[in-house]
Amino acid sequence: MKIELIFIPSPTISHLMATVEMAERLINQNNRLSITIIIISFNSKITSMIASLTTTSNNRLRYEVITGENQQPTELKATDSHVQSLKPLVRDAVAKIVDPTQPDSPRLAGFVVDMYCTTMIDVANDFCVPSYLFYTSNAGFLGLLLHMQLMYDKAEDNKHDMMSELEDSEAELVVPSLTRPYPLKCLPYIFKSKEWRPFFLAQARRFRETKGILVNTVSELETHALKFLSDGDTPCVYSVGPLLHFKNEAGGSVEEKKQSEILEWLDEQPAGSVVFLCFGSMGGFSEEQAREIAVALERSGHRFLWSLRRASPNIKKEPPGDFTNLEEILPEGFIDRTEERGKVIGWAPQVAVLAKPAIGGFVSHGGWNSTLESLWFGVPTAIWPLYAEQKFNAFEMVEELGLAVEIKKHWRGDLLLGRSEMEIVTAEEIERAIKSLMEQESDVRKRVKEMSEKCHVALMDGGSSHVALQKFSQHMTENLEI
């Protein structure tokens, strides 16, 4: 009997590529399985990527593109509404795939929905099949989210307002997915915002409706968090990471030329000598902050590769872009004084850069994909949170796991959720972090190297993530036979 799984990723490149990687692994492990990835919305860059994927896929991995009448929204709540509006189209597409009147029609085993596509659980229910969640962030934050949901639900039952407690800057929270108290100063803005908190708590409630949760992490990395998530109060959790995308990131001839120049420059640098600064597709800085970073880099004395983007005036409508004239915004003479040991660039091929032996440290926004990439290549990080769950990631990596160095303990602002007043981090704080990051014999560097080896082993036959994915496939098949 042929088995069909429906995957519905979030309409972003990073979520899509992690989904594709997981789907390919599942197909390699289960000869009876075929997968259709339904892409519910897309932009031009994803379109070209899908075309590339389709040409290399086999007939057991298919892609169905559904756009609806509107273009991809940029704001998170609008994206959620857009996904909901596409449920009838998804339902029709799945009905055609598993049409019982067609010869050799596969049996539908379930839906694997992205963390931002939980409304598609309703479509799985329409087909009377289980739904599973693909959680692209870490197990620790998943534990925090589920714990906060229970806390707020209990507080609501007791007519108790928690906002004053959350705003208490000296308070700490006991989070079951962490081994130590978590400062409320480090709490992501989504939990403090009256506008955003209901959205994420509702999301957590839907997580609990699923039959299982696939998490992009490694059991050896987040042992305590995964133990908490396996206590029976949540759906079965499978640690199947790291799910990383290593294919060429350049999106055209101009980017390919830039990538070639960057990688050639890195090949000329001594091993472990370059600090790489890159802050993701949404990470941009004000002129004042850019100058503080420049001063820190110059004072540190280290070689550097700096992906510098300007802050967007309206991040919901426009992503960060390049500064038009670096000479005007950086300290006078900075580029000339550092030209022998540093490069200031715009876009950066992050994975290709991290793979280079010259990279000795990574100053990052702390997105989970970036964190996993740095661990995979054995590069220690200094995390500078800018939005979403990154404040939690910084705490977990620095305080909980000892796998990153500290820039500063507490942060204000969130670039994406309407709280854009990001505080200035001083040159002194940045310089201190860079020097600690680039220390060659540090305990952090040794632990990162050890974790890198564990991440590689996890994906091998018999490794923890390989076994977890096998268990998911087995449980999915067993649920089908019940």
Provide mean pLDDT across the span 91-100.
93
Let me know how many helices (H) and strands (E) the chain has, helices first: 19, 15
Determine the pLDDT at residue 67. 77
Q: Tokens for 169?
A: 């800057």
Percentage of the chain with pLDDT > 90?
67
pLDDT in tens, 117-153: 999 999 999 999 999 999 999 999 999 999 999 999 9
pLDDT in tens, 389-406: 999 999 999 999 999 999
Band (pLDDT 50/70/90 cuts) for residue 417 is low
Taking 90 as the threshold, does the pLDDT of residue 212 lie above it?
A: yes
Taking 60 as the threshold, does the pLDDT of residue 75 lie above it?
A: no
Beta strand segments in 243-293, E: 274-278
Taking 70 as the threshold, does the pLDDT of residue 74 lie above it?
A: no
Query: Alpha-carbon distance 233 to 239, whole Å?
Result: 17
Taking 60 as the threshold, does the pLDDT of residue 242 lie above it?
A: yes
pLDDT in tens, 156-188: 666 555 555 555 567 899 999 999 999 988 899
Element (H, E) at 183: strand 182-183
Cα 326 off chain centre by: 30
pLDDT in tens, 254-269: 778 889 999 999 999 9
* Cβ contacts of 80 within 8 Å, gap of 6 or more: 116, 119, 199
For tokens 């820039």, what's the residue? 407
Determine the pLDDT at residue 69. 60
Give me the helix-helix angle, 76-85 and 87-97, nearest 10°.
50
Provide mean pLDDT across the span 428-457.
98
Taking 90 as the threshold, does the pLDDT of residue 318 lie above it?
A: no
**Whole-number average pLDDT of the chain:** 89
Beta bridge pairs of residue 419: 414
Band (pLDDT 50/70/90 cuts) for residue 197 is confident
Taking 60 as the threshold, does the pLDDT of residue 51 lie above it?
A: yes
Provide mean pLDDT across the span 59-63.
88
242 prior amide bond cis, ω within 30: yes
Query: Alpha-carbon distance 158 to 45, whole Å?
Result: 48
Residue of 420, 399, 421, 422 whose CA lies nearest to 409:
399
What is the reported pTM? 0.93
- Which residue ranges make up each domain of the chain? 3-140+194-245+461-481, 253-455
- What architecture (CATH level 2) is domain 253-455? 3-Layer(aba) Sandwich (3.40)
Who wins on pLDDT, 409 or 428? 428
Determine the pLDDT at residue 422. 76
Whether the domain at 3-140+194-245+461-481 and the domain at 253-455 fall into the same CATH topology: yes
**How far apart, in Å, are the Cα atoms of 277 and each of 65, 301, 347, 480?**
35, 15, 11, 47
Query: Alpha-carbon distance 362 to 272, whole Å?
Result: 11
- What architecture (CATH level 2) is domain 3-140+194-245+461-481? 3-Layer(aba) Sandwich (3.40)
Taking 60 as the threshold, does the pLDDT of residue 251 lie above it?
A: no
Query: Alpha-carbon distance 260 to 19, whole Å?
Result: 28
Taking 60 as the threshold, does the pLDDT of residue 44 lie above it?
A: no
3-state SS string for 307-364: ECCECCCCCCCCCCECCCCHHHHCCCCHHHHHCCCEEEECCCCHHHHHCCCCEEEEEE
Determine the pLDDT at residue 480. 77
